[in-house]
Each structure stands twice: as structure tokens, then as C-alpha cells.
Structure 1
Amino acid sequence: MEPEKDADKNLSVSNEFVDVETGDYNAQLSTSKSPEFDPVTSNLGKEILTDEYAAVVVEDDSPYPEVRAAVPSSDDSSLPQNTIRMWTLGLIFTTIGCALNLLFSLHQPSIIITTFVTSILAWPVGLLWARFLPNVKIFGAPLNPGPFNIKEHALITIMANVAYGGMTAGGAAYATDIFLAQNRFYKSDFGWGFDLVAIWSTQCIGFALGGICRRVLVYPASMIWPQNLVMSTFLTNMHVNENHVINGWKISRLNFFGIVGVTGFLWYWIPGYIWTGLSSFAWPTWIAPNNPKVNQVFGSTTGLGLLPITFDWEQISGYVGSPLIPPASALATIGLSMILIFWSVVPALYYTNTWYSKYMPISSSSSYDRYGKDYDVQKIINTKTLSFNNEEYKKYSPLFLSTTFAISYGLSFASMLATLVHAVIFHGKDIVQQVKRKEKPDVHMRLMQQNYKEVPEWWFFGVFLVFFGLAVATVRAWPTEMPVWALVVALIIAIIFLLPCGIIFALTNISVGLNVVTEFIVGYMLPGKPLAMMFFKTFGYITNVQAVTFVQDMKLGHYMKIAPRVLFAAQFVGTIWGSLVQVAVLRWSYSAIHELCEPHQSSNYTCPNGRVFFNASIIWGVIGPQRQFSAGQIYNKILYFFVLGAALPVVNWLILKKWPNSFVRWLNWPVFFSGTGMIPPATPYNYAAYCGVGLFFGYYVKRKWFHWWSKYNYSLSAGLDIGLAWSMVIIFLTTTLTNTSFPTWWGNSIVQRTMDTQGTAVLKTLEKGESFGPSSW
């Protein structure tokens, strides 16, 4: 396709960091001597560069050093973007990624196929296309328009990312958890039509909102989006095709990725199938498999994982994603949160029997009744309408949570208010300036304005109206018991939090979720209606998450100088197609995977995310927060977390007003409260391993061998991810579908024999007929 406008040659300036030792371009995202990025106040790049920089600085460029180092400040608008090759490869990788991410989301622990995997795989395929396919015309468009270029590559990556649901959404579309909870746990099924209308409406409304707010979250230079800097460097390095000796290493990035990927593929067969003890390497529990305290403290499945040793990349990167990508400051904050909350507060609460905790495992995503058994929701609902039956509830039991599960709700309460307060006091003025378009455009914004046509605002408003209509059809055409006014309230919540959540993510690469606050609100608004609760939560939470994901990719397109109208089409088509693929794979898995979602499924396809979703629907939708958190109820003290979340950012602000260089400038309370948001179903064992590996590479290796880190770190991450993914696929096809397992031996059976794995590590056991808890409820 022809470029929409001629490039302004005066703006095509080259301003890349040059390593004087190796000659490597675009290597330095940051160094120990570079101006630091303050994630609290966003004081990035406001210092003056010194002579210590081995760089050539041109005046017309981004004001931020990280962006200058990662994103070329030039644009070749003659490169073809809207090509048959881009659409074909984009749809192929979207299909594969969506299918695998949905499948792996059913596994314990779950993993995510990241966009780095898509990006690295699309590269050789695109090169082969350019080399071997003839340049014939199909419907007037060239089949092979020349060399596979960086803009096509970026569009394929973006299409796959939005279709997967993005890292912020956990890989699989969030609505699939509704279908799992409804179909597998509530034993209710509205069919294919309902699934498609529901998933399209929940995914695409976020796309519209993301486009509407792009002038605040995309256009300003101050909205950095750290992961986009990584992807920009990654794409640029692949297409520059230069290979320099780094710290004595001569191997190219592509060859390094290949070796890591093949090694990871072969290795995972050991901890994932042959010797599973290497995956959950909680060896103290092997020595004392029937000692509840040992299993609680050191356990990896229902314990606190105090010795987080593992030889399995899935245990490290499952749930949260690769630890090699977030900045070290964010990882340190998450690690601090885990140590203070889950290794200090949680044991104190558990061993003092707060909330009757000694009758349950210390960490579990399940919910329990007063007999210490899994809560049987069928006993307290009217099965035809999925509504609450108060009489049966009074006869049966209140609902009890493990200590980590209860604390996770408190952290979510704090995160909600911390995000709002933090955004107002630290970024309020910036938001106002950006809405008024008072910030001076940087070189990237000027290049986009001069070379490409912008997407009209009415396109995004049109998408919103169409899929709002489908959302109304979703909640009214089927018996969800959710009124339209509740749908409107859910969307208003998503819109109110969009800018605060977007700003936090743009500066720290850590997402702040609204899942719990939406559950809390709907529990009071629509008590006793679990399906309505799940949809309110999804429209309020995932609409916000999807908007942030779309905005992140719009910023990547901004950095890569993608024509906005082509980007609009790629994001929209990828979302529609990817949603269809995930519904199809989910429906297939119901019949293909034996005992899917059962707690002891032989290949660990236990649906951890769907189970948490189901348990949350019991807590908030069936029983309701008024029976859990109101005055006089078991968990009412958790509401104090609201106060903590609102107060602590103000304390930071007051300290920084008095002492601007205080260490608290690195403490980001929204990240502190939301960084461990996947516990449960994740455990402190997973997060400790995640933070440990991330800090080793992101802090130690980066500072000691920076050039090695800048050349190989992201190829290492992508290689480990793709090796794990394909190994899991082959194991699934050859063992899970055929219902075969590795011969029984000590290396596998020892893990299964522990109280930690069996979920029986409790300090107080009940005799038959005994119960615990309050006398009335």
C-alpha cells in the first residue's frame, strides 16, 4: 500500500545511543549512571545529560533518555504496512496464541504466551515469505511487497497481543472465566450464541474507551509505557540485523533465542512430566509430609513457600508472566509487599486463629464451610434461577476463606483507593495539562501528525455504541438477572478508573485491577445473583483492563510509526477473531479433557482461574458482602484496608514535600497493594521465585554486565517462554489427551503425598459431626 502522506525529511533525524566499545546501537535503556526513573512522581529524564554518556544527542528528540535509547526518532513512511503478509501472519499467530493461552489458562499453574513469543516467531516466517513467495497481485494487492519490515512485524505483534487479552488480562479473555464458572461449577449453559455475544461485548467496549482516551495516555511524551520500550528495542534489534561482540559473547540474538528455546523445550519434560519434584521443590515437605506446620511454612501449593527453590520456568513465570521484563524497582516493591504481607502478617493472623483460620490451609483459592469441607454452593441457591436461598444458608454454613485469600481482598480494597489518591496528588496537574493539550509534542508525535491520518473520534464512539448494544443484549436476552442500569454503573466505574490505572501502568508496568471493588459494589447492589455479579465485575473490571491493553499497543504503534487507521483495523479484527477462537477451544476442551476442572485432574487441568472466579461469585454474588464484611460479620476488619489505601499515598506525598530525595519516592503504594494480586491461585512460592529471578537479571546482571543484558535479556525471556509453551503442548497432546502418565516413582509420588499438595495442612481437625465458627449467622 502507498503511504498516506510523504515523509517530512526534516523530521527524519537519527538520534540513537552508540556504544563506543561495541558500536551497538539502541542498546542502552538505562545505566547505573543514567538519570533514574522515579515511578512515584514520574521524574524521568528531567535531569541534564552529562559527559559520561557515550551518546550523540540531537535536539529534536524525546525529552526522556529511556525513550531516546529505545525508540528511533526517525520514520520511513514508504514502508508497506497494510499488506496481505501482515494480515495473514497476524491472523495465524493470533489463532495459535489464543488457542494455547486459553488451553494453558486451564492448567495449574497457568502460563501465558507473551507477545515476545509471537514477535520472535513471526520474524523468520516473514523473512521466508519475503524470500520465496512470488510477487503476484491478489485483489490488486501484492502478495510479496518486498522485504519483511519492522512495521508489518509490529502490527502482527499488536494484533496478537490484543487478541490474547494482553498481559494485564492474563492471556485468555476474561469472559471465559464466566463461562467456566457457569458451565463447569454451576452446571448451567446458555450455549454458543450467548458466549460469542458476551465475549465480544466485554472485549470491544474497552477498545473503544482506549481510543477515546489516547490523547492523555498515548500522545504525551511523559506516558512512557516501559514494556513498549522493551518491545521497540526488541523489534529494532531484529531488523537492524547487526551482531556485535558483547562481554566476550559472539552469538547473535536469534541464535541465542533458538538455543534457549530448544533447551527449554527439552528441559521442561523433566520437571513437567518425568520428575515433577523439581517443579515444586519444597523439599522440607518431603522430609515431613504429614507435619502441618512444615507444610504450611514451606509448601508450594497451599503453603507460604519460604524456600522458593524451583527448576521449572512455569512456576516462576506462570500467573504473572516473565520476571525478566518489569523494572527492578517494581519487582522490589512486589517483593517487599510479599515479605511484609504474606510472610509476616499472614502467619501472624493464621497462628492466632483469626477468622477461624487454623481449620483451613493457610493459602488456598477454595472456600470452606463450617465443617472444613469445600463450600457446597448447590445447598444455598435456587438451581433454576441461580439465586440465593437464605433459609438453606441459615441451615448450612457461613463461608470461610483461607488467610491469604482473605488478605488478598483487603489488598484489593487498598489498591483501589491508593490508585485514585496517587493519581490525583502525583499526576493530577499532568492529566489536566494533557487533556488541554498543553504538553509540547515530542518528535514521535510530530512525525505521526505529519505523516499519517488520525483515526476520527467517531470511529471509537461508533464501536462503543455497537458493542454497548451487544452488552445490553447479553444481560437481557438471557436470564443473567442483571438490569441495564447495573451495566451502566459498571461501565461508569471502568471509565472513572481508566486514567488512574492507565497512568500507573504507563509508568511502572504494573496493572491495578478493579475486580474486587466491582465485586464489592455489585454484592450490595444485586445481592444473591451470582451470574449478574460475574457480568458486573467483568464489564466494570475487564473493560478497564482491555482499554489499558489497547492503549499500550497504541503507544507501541506510536513509537513504531504505524498508520493509526491500519492500527485501528488490526486491533479490532484481532479482537473479534481471537475471541471466536477462544470460545471454540473452550467448548472443545469440555469434551476433550477428561475430568476438566476437577481438583485432582491427572494432568493438572484444574481450572485455577475459573475456580477463583467461581468462589468469588459465591462470596460476592450468592452470599454477598453484607454477610461477609459488614459490621458484626467474620471479615469486617478487612474494610480497614480502604483507609490504608487512601492514607499511605498522602503520607508519601507529605514526606516528599519535606524531603524530596527520601527513599519513599521509590515506594509506589498502588504497586505495593496490587503487585501480588494473583495470590491466590498463585502462592508466595511463585512470587518469591518470580521476584528473585527478576531482580537477579534486572538489577544484578544489568548493572554488572549491562551490555550482555541489553543484548540477550529479552531473547532469553522469549526463548524460555516459547520452549515451555511448546513442551506443554506436546505433553498435552501425547499424554493428557491419551490419559497416560509417567511410570510411578519417588520423584513424582513424593510431591503428591505431602499435606501441602493434598490441601490438608491444617492445625485443627474436626471429628465427624463437629463444626467451627459462630453459633449463628
Structure 2
Amino acid sequence: MVELELETEEDSPYPEVRASVSNIDDPDMPCGTLRAWFLCFILSTFASAVNTVLSLRYPAPTLMPIVMQLIAYPCGKFLATIMPIRTFYLPSWLGGSKFSLNPGLFNIKEHTLITIVMNLCTTQAYSLYTVLTVESVYFYDTPKPILFTILYTISTSMIGMSLAGMSRRFLVWPASMIWPQNLVITTILNTLHAEDDAYDSSMSRFRFFSFVMGGAFLWNFVPSYLFNALSTFGWLCWIWPNNFIINTLFGTQTGLGLSVLTFDWNQINYIGSPLIFPWWAECNTFTGFVLWLIVCTLSLYFTNTLFTAYMPFNTTQAFDNHGQPYDIFRVIQNLKSFNVEAYEAYSPLFLSATYTMLYTTGFAAATALLSHTILYHGKALWRGVRRVRTEEDDIHAKFMRRYPEVPSWWYFVLGVLMFILGIICIEVYDTDMPVWALVVAVAIPIVYFLPSGFIYAMTGTTIGTNLIGEVVAGYSLPGLPLANMMFKTYAFNTLSNGLTFVQDLKLGHYMKVPPRQSFAAQTIFTIWNSFVQIGVLRFMIARVHNLCAQDQEHRFSCPHARVFFTSSIVWGIIGPQRLFGNGGLYKPLYWAMLAGLVLPVPFWFLARKYPKSWLKFVSVPIVLSGATFSPPASGIVYTAWFTTAFIFQYLIRKYNFRWWSKYNFVTSAALDAGTIVSTLVIFLVLQLPKDGSISIEWWGNTVSANTLDANPTPWKMPPANGFGPPPKA
């Protein structure tokens, strides 16, 4: 009793964690039960297969982890009801232990284990976009053996797990590593498994969750189907549909999107739920939006710097010197090699204003992340390397010491094995990728893992290595599109998957899942998920007519593979040398790397000199990543997101902390769940049948399409003989 009282009194030093994570633990509660493993197998197979099919279609929703988390709850309850409560004994030669098919009520640790698996299986393997690009007759049409696909997919998916395990003392065990995304998941778990938390006569969190989720489910039909104009609510563009300045500033499709109001949670939640990120991090992100997209990008555009005024303001499309979408097929031959003569006769490649700023801030963020980590986390890293405790254990870390930890050498051996699989993959099969390139590709996420992990764990903001991988591959492997795609996949996927693995380890840490069971679940189902996705992709390639055709009859146009294909040509065949090298129009953008490296230094010194000022909350990498989502997103996702964050994360938290601590994360989870389920229903019931012809044609669904914003228009009309310097081979 005394121990329980002490456990109940001690809690996390962070209010966000206290509001969503329980500070008690039952070490006798079963976790890796047979029914939990059974549900992991069934639900992961289902979600993995469905998302693989949906990833080939446009438009298409995705089965999100939160949906699978909700589905797992009634499934677990059902199995607990029907399975026999009989105890079985293994023979002595197998250890003589006992087990039961039904150890009691479906509990929160079983549910957490299933959720960890769902977080892995709902993500499409990045490597499969390479495979589809290589094999499709609409792209490179050079099929590879299935063993290549297996080795490539498993190695790219699993190397990151090794990095995750090796970084636990930095990113999982310290209490300061909050991982805001996990707080929504833990809130749902605690809400579903709490019998009644309305001890203070207020509404229980489960009942509140049900009401908000139901309301979000019903409301989403309005902006997503019945009245589409409410989604972006560009009312100024409706009034002045042909005014270029109004449409550029307030348009939400190709404009800046300076409106604040939207009635669509999908728009508000585009960056991530504004109810879960720390307020100081949200201020940094919004500052970046103001600096880079409003001040710098508008200046860039209306001064026609880098010829941006001859293109629409906000678009992911690349253009030629006549302001037309760049026809990539005019500069390649046989879809495989670069045609220098055709390139010189055609045009260099030009980027829109927002795309130019995206690259500029991306280059700066890549170096700022490194210098920021050294300055702000250097001492913790050095102490961690010397195996000195970086901070005192909180209650959750103390609880987790009850369970056997996974030895670090397990993760190290796993990483070595996966790296060997990668070597076999690139050496046995014709990939044009040398072993040294694989070493460099894996070295990039190794360097960036802890810097990105610190930012992600403390703020929920991701800063990836996609751009760095593309640039390095473009310079080191010129003219080799397959090698370029594989390099980018190893560089990007190792980091992104690794951070997902760490996030799940922190989830298990919060919910007191034995670490070795988390390790087993992540290893087994990542590999199983790879086989499922490979099998489904092979089935789709073999059975779907005209798969990946732009006008495929059921809209299986392979949008992600199409982007992969274009990127492989731009970076792998044309190459960054022609864009950013000597004589390249965009060479000055490289100076952003130097600026990013230096920028954190003055803020670090000022924060040390004035430790009680607002300067201690400035994070240069987050400010630089403030423009990450645009293009394709417009400013409406920033302004609506920040306005909502101001209400919940500042006003309500400051003036009604009691309500915030009980309902804030429940509100976020319920809005996410209701909106996602509603989106799936709209897709399956109203869009998938008859190829989306079940629609409502009226002013509210068409007004946004009748503006300059919806019909890309440049500020200046290109000269008849084209603009910009001549292309240089």
C-alpha cells in the first residue's frame, strides 16, 4: 500500500505527460498474450494490404494508425469474451511453463502492443516506390527479380531500427524527450480502458471523446463533400475572382493563403494537430512561415528574382523558359538516358517562388540542425557517450527498470545483418550502385539521427534527409537513376523509419510494455509487413490493367511512383550540377547552408546571457522548417493551425488548466479519429463507386474552381522568345 501511494504521488515533471500518461503500473498485467499477437497479425496484414492498394490510387485516403487503434479495441474485447479461459501446461522438455488463451479482460498493455505494430504496418514501404518505378511499363520498364525486392525492402526498413535501439539513452529514457505525438495515443488508450474517470462530477473522458468524435465524423461531410468551399474558405477570391493580387495573397490553391478561417479539420491538422505541439515550438514554426513565405517569398516573387514572376506563385510544378510545365520527356531518350542536345535546344528547369524558398530553407535547416544540436545538446551527448546519466529518472523510467532491457548488441547485430542484406542486394543485382555509395547513404541518417530525434521528440517537428539524399546522390551517382533512387531511399527511409521505431519505443516506455516484447513486435511485424506489401504490389502489377497509366480507368495512376520517377530524372539524369553547380541559376541557394550553420550561434549566446528571456525558446531549425509544407500547402494551413493552437495551447492552458489537462489531448484524438473515419466512409461510399461520379454540383462545390487561384496564372507573361539564361550541359 505504501509503494502504491508513493507511485501515485510521484509523476512526470511535464504537465503534458501528466495529463495523458498514467503514473501507476501493474507489473503482473499480461502484455504479449496469444490474442494480442493474433490481433497484431490479422490487423497488420489487413492494414498493410489495404494501404498498399490505396497508395496506388489518386485520390485515396489511408488507414491511419489511430483508426486501427480504435478497431483493435472491440476486437480485443470480443476475443476476451469468446476465447476459453483454460490454462495449458507445456511439457517439461519445453520448459514446463503455463499459459492461457484468455488471461482475463483485454487490457491496456495488450492494446499498446497492438498499437505499436499498427504504427509500423500502416506506413507504406518507401522502397516499393522504387520497385514500381523500375518495373512499370509507364516508367523504366526494367523488371527485377522478386528476391531483389525482398532484400531491398527489408534492409531499407530495418536498418533504422538499429539506430533507434542505439539511441534509447538519448531519445527514450530521458523525461525531457516528451514525444508529443505519443500523448494523443496514450490519451486514447487510457480513455478507452478507464472504467470511469469522472470522479469530480465532470464528464468522463470516454464520454467526451465519444461526443467529439461523433461530431467530427458528421461535420466532416460538410467541407469534404456537401460544401467544399468551406474547406479553404477563400471568400475574398470569390468576391474578386479575377483580381490577381487578391488571388495571390489570399488564394489557397496556388496563392499564399493568408486567410485565417477554415471549417475543415483536415486543413487545420495538415501540419499536425495544433493541440499537441508545445506552444513555444508552434510559435517558432509560425515565425518561420511569416519570415520565409510572407516576407521573403513575396519579395522574391514581386521583384521577379530568379524569374519567379513568370510562373504561378505556389506550385510544386517545374517550368521551362516559356512558363509552361517542364516536359521532362523532351530531354531524355528511351526513358533512361539524358539527351544533352535536346536539353540545350529546349530549356533549363525553373522553380516557382515557393519551391525556391523550400530548397533554400531546406539547405539551411540541414546545417542548422547540426550546429543547433552541438550547441544545445552537446553536453548531454558527451555524457551519454560516456554512459553518464543525462538526467534523473522520472517515475516512468523507474517503472521500466522492473523489466529486462534489450541489450544494445542485439540492435547492433541487427543493423549489421541488414547492412549485409543491402550489400547483397546492390552487388548481386544490376543496380549501378557501388558499396561505397551504400556506406555514404547510411552514414547520412547516422549523422542526422540524434539531431533530428531531439527536435522530433521535443517538438513533434520532423526535419528529414530527403533533400540531402537527393543532392548527394545527384553529385556522386550522375546519370544513374536507379542508383539515385536507391541512395535516396536508404538515406531517407533509415532516418524516417528509425524515428518511427523510437517513437514506438517511447510509447512502450510510457505504457510500461516490457522492452523485449516491443523489440520482438517491431522486428517480426516489420519483416512480415514487408512481405505483405511486396505480395500485394506484385498482385496489383500482374492483375490491374494499365496500372500507373495517367488515365487508368479506376484511377490507379501511382501518384507516389510518378513523383519518384520525375525526381529520379531531375536528380539522377539531369543532375543537381545543372541546377546548382557552376553557372547554374540556383547556385546561390547553396549559401543557405553556411547561413544555417551560423544562425544558431548568436541565439545560443543570447539565450545564455539572458536565460529568463524568450530567447531561450528560439529554435533556428524549427524556424527554418516553417516553410516545409509549402508547396503544396498554402498559408491557410499555417494561420488556421496557429490560431487553433493559440486558443488551446495558450489561452485555455493558461486560464483553465484543469479543463486543458483533462480534455485537451482527448479533443485532439477525437477530432482526428472522427475526421479520418468520416473521410474513409466518404471515399468508400461516395467516391469509390462509379469513380467519384456520385457528387453534388452546386455553387458551394464549384465557386473555388472559378478563380485565378484555381487556374494557375503568373504575374508576368513570359517573353515570346523565353526568359532566363540558355541551358548549359
Same fold (TM over 0.5): yes
The answer to whether residue 194 in structure 2 is matched with residue 236 in structure 1 is no
Q: Distance between the aligned counterparts of 2:238 and 2:104, measured in 1?
A: 59
Aligned counterpart in structure 2 of residue 656 of structure 1, from 598, 607, 611: 607
Alignment of 1:438-449 (within 5 A): 438-439=388-389, 440-449=392-401
Q: Distance between the aligned counterparts of 1:611 and 1:446, measured in 2?
A: 49
Aligned counterpart in structure 1 of residue 111 of structure 2, from 147, 153, 156: 153
Q: Distance between the aligned counterparts of 1:728 and 1:602, measured in 2?
A: 22
Cα offset, 1:95, TM superposition = 3.8
Cα offset, 1:310, TM superposition = 2.3
Q: State the Cα deviation string for residues 169-215 of structure 1 (Å, max 9, x = none).
A: xxx33334435655487353636825443332211111122112223
Q: State the Cα deviation string for residues 669-690 of structure 1 (Å, max 9, x = none).
A: 1111224423223232223323
Aligned counterpart in structure 2 of residue 421 of structure 1, from 357, 371, 376: 371
The answer to whether residue 31 in structure 2 is matched with residue 77 in structure 1 is no
In structure 1, the residue matched to 2:362 is 412
Aligned counterpart in structure 2 of residue 205 of structure 1, from 159, 168, 174: 159
Q: State the Cα deviation string for residues 31-82 of structure 1 (Å, max 9, x = none).
A: xxxxxxxxxxxxxxxxxxxxxxxxx4x5xx6565655665444432211111
Q: State the Cα deviation string for residues 616-667 of structure 1 (Å, max 9, x = none).
A: 4343222222211124321122112112211111011111222222222111
Residue 29 of structure 2: SS of its match in structure 1?
coil
Pick closer, same or farther for the CA change 1:444–1:697 going to 2, 3 Å: closer
Q: Distance between the aligned counterparts of 1:667 and 1:501, measured in 2?
A: 16
Whether the 8 Å contact between 1:480 and 1:531 is mirrored in structure 2 is yes
In structure 2, the residue matched to 1:317 is 269
In structure 2, the residue matched to 1:464 is 415
| Greater mean alpha carbon deviation, residues 263-272 or residues 180-189 | 180-189
**Sequence identity of aligned pairs in percent?**
40
In structure 2, the residue matched to 1:48 is none
| Greater mean alpha carbon deviation, residues 107-116 or residues 494-503 | 107-116
The answer to whether residue 698 in structure 2 is matched with residue 745 in structure 1 is yes
Alignment of 1:175-186 (within 5 A): 175-179=127-131, 182=134, 183=136, 186=139
Whether the 8 Å contact between 1:12 and 1:73 is mirrored in structure 2 is no
Cα root mean square deviation, aligned? 3.2
Cα offset, 1:375, TM superposition = 1.7
In structure 1, the residue matched to 2:574 is 623
Whether the 8 Å contact between 1:120 and 1:718 is mirrored in structure 2 is no
The answer to whether residue 284 in structure 2 is matched with residue 340 in structure 1 is no
The answer to whether residue 656 in structure 2 is matched with residue 705 in structure 1 is yes
In structure 2, the residue matched to 1:282 is 234
Alignment of 1:1-400 (within 5 A): 14-16=6-8, 56=9, 58=10, 67=17, 70-99=20-49, 114-136=64-86, 141-165=99-123, 172-179=124-131, 182=134, 183=136, 186-188=139-141, 190=143, 193=146, 194-244=148-198, 250=203, 252-318=204-270, 320-383=271-334, 386-400=336-350
Residue 289 of structure 1: SS of its match in structure 2?
coil
Residue 455 of structure 1: SS of its match in structure 2?
coil
Whether the 8 Å contact between 1:388 and 1:528 is mirrored in structure 2 is yes
Q: Distance between the aligned counterparts of 2:665 and 2:228, measured in 1?
A: 27
In structure 2, the residue matched to 1:50 is none
| Greater mean alpha carbon deviation, residues 440-449 or residues 511-520 | 440-449
In structure 1, the residue matched to 2:96 is none
The answer to whether residue 432 in structure 2 is matched with residue 481 in structure 1 is yes
| Counterpart code for 1:667 | V
Q: Distance between the aligned counterparts of 2:232 and 2:205, measured in 1?
A: 31
Q: Distance between the aligned counterparts of 2:420 and 2:272, measured in 1?
A: 34
Residue 342 of structure 2: SS of its match in structure 1?
helix
So what's the TM-score if we normalise by structure 1? 0.84
Whether the 8 Å contact between 2:288 and 2:625 is mirrored in structure 1 is no
Residue 628 of structure 1: SS of its match in structure 2?
helix
Whether the 8 Å contact between 1:175 and 1:199 is mirrored in structure 2 is yes
Gaps of 5+ in 2: 91-98
Whether the 8 Å contact between 1:261 and 1:719 is mirrored in structure 2 is yes
How many aligned positions are there? 713
| Counterpart code for 1:142 | S
Cα offset, 1:541, TM superposition = 1.9
Q: Distance between the aligned counterparts of 1:190 and 1:383, measured in 2?
A: 15
In structure 2, the residue matched to 1:43 is none
| Counterpart code for 1:744 | E
Aligned counterpart in structure 1 of residue 501 of structure 2, from 527, 545, 550: 550
Q: Distance between the aligned counterparts of 1:396 and 1:139, measured in 2?
A: 76
Residue 272 of structure 2: SS of its match in structure 1?
coil
The answer to whether residue 455 in structure 2 is matched with residue 497 in structure 1 is no
In structure 1, the residue matched to 2:709 is 756
Q: Distance between the aligned counterparts of 1:448 and 1:299, measured in 2?
A: 51
So what's the TM-score if we normalise by structure 2? 0.89
| Counterpart code for 2:635 | P
Alignment of 1:689-700 (within 5 A): 689-700=640-651
Q: Distance between the aligned counterparts of 1:746 and 1:669, measured in 2?
A: 44
Pick closer, same or farther for the CA change 1:62–1:776 going to 2, 3 Å: closer
Q: State the Cα deviation string for residues 85-114 of structure 1 (Å, max 9, x = none).
A: 211222344345445655666678886655
| Counterpart code for 2:715 | L
Q: Distance between the aligned counterparts of 2:360 and 2:61, measured in 1?
A: 26
| Counterpart code for 1:284 | L
Q: Distance between the aligned counterparts of 1:605 and 1:665, measured in 2?
A: 49
Q: State the Cα deviation string for residues 340-383 of structure 1 (Å, max 9, x = none).
A: 11112111101111111122111111111223222222222243
| Counterpart code for 1:755 | L
